[in-house]
Amino acid sequence: MTTERIAEFFKTRRPEGPCLVVDREVVRDNYTAFRRALPDSAIYYAVKANPAPQILELLASLGSNFDCASVAEIEMVLEAGAGADRISFGNTIKKERDIARAHALGVNLFAVDCHEEVEKIARAAPGARVFCRVLTDGEGAEWPLSRKFGCVPPMAVDVLVYAHQLGLESYGVSFHVGSQMTKLEAWDAALADAKRVFAQLAKQGIYLQMVNMGGGFPTKYLRDVPTAEAYGQAIFAALSRHFGNQLPKTIIEPGRGMVGNAGVIKSEVVLISKKSDDDKHRWVFLDIGKFGGLAETMDEAIRYPIRTDRDGDEMEPCVLAGPTCDSADVMYEKNMYPLPITLTIGDEVLIEGTGAYTTTYASVAFNGFEPLKSYVI
């Protein structure tokens, strides 16, 4: 996944310290693949995955829409050249004054998952379109979503009726099957729930128009993942099964699936050591860790591919840890990582599939270390 352009960048620019390089051409290819796989769905790029201005500008120029988590993200998208009509304020947890600011900037599409949020939007963005997020079970996802977002489907019906009563446009429902979802059938149960909410509301004369099918599209880390095409077919089949020939408008919100495989982090081996003479395993310490951009290694959830110049040599399982004085800054220990036995202090390692959820996750200055640098080429 280290493209020739990225390899060339590292070779010629030789940046000091850990850094991420994102290849714009891969983002473009991913966008095209989503377009082809789900030609009838609008793409709302999940800005939080990687808000680098060059990525937002590229996607804006390709015609993408944007899923924003905050006013700051909305402003970045506007700055990148997309109009407010291409923005969804997709965070279900919003301050009322932020809703008002977004509305003043022209945003007219908001996520909700409870009556209280509907009331805020009715006051701060009167007449706006809202969609209600429905809880789904995240089984099969490598980064499960828990119960934090969404409400059960019967409550979603009440929430959307309430929105209608308060003068908002009850526009649709959303769900999120869980990040890095590799089970194609995951969308089926969620679409069945969505259809039931549509039907319940239609009985009350409220006609929803849109299903926001969220993100969850995976990046290939170590294991193969289904193609965008396979997702497209499975989702289209599920949509047809549940909605028949009255297909709603649909939205997808790829983040990881759009930029994850477009980025590579360069890091350096700072130390390799053992804890005792008879320790079976080496500890390999990099100059990046859980607080420097690899937060998604939390609980060893995401397992990134790691490349070295010595990959032809014999491999042995190692503990992999970051450079901070924090004991939690260990990436892989329960499930150790195979690395070349010849790996040496000072070696460069490439951590692939790191285009998403790395730069902005980095801590601002923990242990005095700078946040992750980033280059988009």
Residue 247 lies near its own copies (rule: CB under 8 A)? no
Candidates 26, 38, 55, 68: give the one binding its own copies (CB under 8 A). Answer: 68
Nearest to 133 by CA among 197, 69, 186, 86: 197
By CB under 8 A, residue 149 contacts its own copies: yes
Residue 21 phi, psi (nearest 5): -120, 125
Query: For its own copies, which is the closer residue by CB, 170 or 174?
Result: 174
- Phi/psi region, residue 233 (left: phi>0; alpha: psi -120 to 50; beta: rest), is alpha
Which one of 4-12, 18-26, 66-74, 304-312 is the stretch in contact with its own copies (CB under 8 A)? 66-74
Q: Does residue 375 belong to the site contacting its own copies (CB under 8 A)?
A: no
Binding-site size for its own copies (CB under 8 A) equals 80
Is 280 a residue that touches its own copies (CB under 8 A)?
no
Tell whether residue 335 is a contact of its own copies (CB under 8 A): no
The reply to whether 202 sits near its own copies by the rule CB under 8 A is no
Q: Which stretch binds its own copies (CB under 8 A): 56-64, 193-201, 226-234, 268-276?
A: 268-276
Q: Are strands 141-143 and 179-181 parallel, antiparallel or unpaired?
A: antiparallel
Q: Does 68 qualify as catalytic in the annotation?
A: no
Q: Which residues of 187-208 are buried (b: 16+ CB within 10 A; e: fewer)?
A: bbbbbebbbbbbebbeeeebeb
Buried/exposed 346-371: b ≥16 CB within 10 Å, e otherwise? ebebbbbbbbbbbbbbbbeebeebeb
> By three-state DSSP, how is residue 22 classified?
strand
Sign of CA dihedral 238, 256, 137, 71: negative
Give residues 78-97 in contact with its own copies (rule: CB under 8 A): 90-96
Asked if 369 interacts with its own copies (CB under 8 A), we say: yes
Among 69, 82, 264, 294, binds its own copies (CB under 8 A): 69
Nearer to its own copies, 243 or 366 (CB): 366
Q: Which of helix, strand or coil describes residue 219?
A: coil
Interface pick for its own copies out of 328, 338, 341, 348 (rule CB under 8 A): 328
Q: How far is CA 129 from the centre of its chain?
A: 24
Cβ atoms < 10 Å from Cβ of 57: 17
Do residues 186 and 170 make contact, with C-beta atoms less than 8 angstroms apart?
no
- Nearest approach in angstroms of CB 257 to its own copies is 16
One residue of 5, 36, 147, 241 binding its own copies per CB under 8 A: 147
Q: Which of 34, 162, 171, 361 binds its own copies (CB under 8 A)?
A: 361
Tell me how crowded residue 222 is: count the other CB atoms within 10 A of its CB.
12
The b/e string for 224-247 (b: 16+ C-beta within 10 A; e otherwise) is ebbebeebbebbbebbeebbeeee
Tokens of 356: 């998403």
Q: Is 223 in the site for its own copies (CB under 8 A)?
A: no
Applying CB under 8 A, does 145 fall inside the site for its own copies? yes
C-alpha to C-alpha distance for 193 and 137, rounded to whole angstroms? 12
Q: Choose, by CB under 8 A, the member of 55, 78, 135, 351 that binds its own copies.
A: 135
The contact mask relative to its own copies for 94-133 (x = CB under 8 A, - = no) is: xxx----------------xxxxx--x-------------
- The stretch near its own copies (CB under 8 A) out of 24-32, 216-224, 244-252, 266-274 is 266-274
Q: Which is nearer to its own copies, 1 or 109 (CB)?
A: 109
Closest CA relative to residue 179, chosen from 71, 48, 59, 373: 48
Residue 245 in contact with its own copies, rule: CB under 8 A: no
Candidate ranges 63-71, 180-188, 197-205, 229-237; the one touching its own copies (CB under 8 A): 63-71
Measured from the CB atom, the residue of 37 and 318 that comes closer to its own copies is 318
Binding of residue 342 to its own copies (CB under 8 A): no
Q: Which residues are catalytic?
A: 325
